[in-house]
Amino acid sequence: MLLQPLPDTDESAPTQRPVPLPTGLPPLIERTDYRAPSVFRPENMMREARRQKGLSAGPVPRVVLLDPDGDMVDYVRAHRSATRSPYWACYHTDMWVWEEAGLSFGIVGYAVGASFSVLVAEQAFVCGCDLLISIASAGQIADHAPPSYHIVIDRALRDEGTSYHYLPPAPFAPADPGLVRLALGAFGTLGWPVLAGPTWTTDAPFRETEGTIARRKAEGMLAVEMEAAALYAFAQARMKDVLCLAHVTNQLGCVDGDFEKGDHNGASRSIALAAAFVAAWTARRAAGAEASAAIARR
């Protein structure tokens, strides 16, 4: 029920009366306007941010990484001479750019959580991004191996709010199966164990109770994180290329010495995984463009 103030009749504080929602359902469930355009647009926000910051318009790299922990940002600044993008006008973040294996990358740090990661993703794609990769720290649910290791998230349980603004209610937000297959093929050449499977996306990391964790484990969840369901829902609704990796770094703080991520806080391996996937993605796009050109020449 929504609460609506009644007109004041005396000097006391206003009373409130309940006003039923149109369907009696919570707002996230009752909305149906998934295909309707938004009034508040990311391109308009970026236009005004550029004006206020005195920045000129220009494209960001075609490949953008999201780094909620900030470790990869620190790594590419220290070891890849990454520089701040002069065109990224987002009010809330900086984008750092560098070259990796002849390809230009951008990375945005500290985009933690479903709503913030999608806010950044919306802006990145209107600024020239064609592929977005999120590599987020995650807590272990299934005991496949000691942390740390990576998971290609093939679907994410929607236990957050942002995804319900992009897609109708459903248990999972799926990844693009073609991108998952491409990633697993690319990672198979690196010689590192990389899993594939579902994760649980939550909005409330400090409400991961024993009972809920047991249920998620029984349901087959490999890890818990905070972004993938929203990013995959956005990707499906907007028809964008998005791949989410979970970097399993901890056992939910339940053991001493938890949250050890590996060399350079795990950043060097995460960057190598991203670079391998981007090389495969770029090759696939080039092959597709060549095939289209050949058809056009007939």
One-letter amino acid at 43 equals E
Which structural domains are found in the chain, ordered by start? 131-253+263-286 (3.40.50.1580)
Task: Provide the 10 A C-beta neighbour count for residue 72.
Answer: 28
Please tell me the distance from the alpha carbon of residue 241 to that of residue 123, in angstroms, as a whole number. Answer: 14
Share of the chain above pLDDT 90, in %: 73
Burial class (CB in 10 A: 0-12, 13-18, 19+), 227: buried
DSSP 204-246: -GGG--HHHHHHHHHTT--EEESSHHHHHHHHHHHT-EEEEEE
One-letter amino acid at 22 equals P
pLDDT recorded at residue 148: 86
Q: Tell how strand 2-5 and strand 223-225 pair up.
A: unpaired
Q: What is the DSSP letter of 148?
A: -
Q: Are 169 and 281 in contact (CB under 8 A)?
A: no
Share of the chain above pLDDT 70, in %: 88
**Across 4-29, average pLDDT:** 61
Q: Among candidates 108, 100, 102, which has minimal Cα distance to 60?
A: 108
Please tell me the distance from the alpha carbon of residue 209 to that of residue 241, in angstroms, as a whole number. Answer: 33
For 221-243, the pLDDT digits (tens) are 999 999 999 999 999 999 999 99
Mean pLDDT is lowest, of 6-10, 11-15, 139-143, 245-249, for 6-10
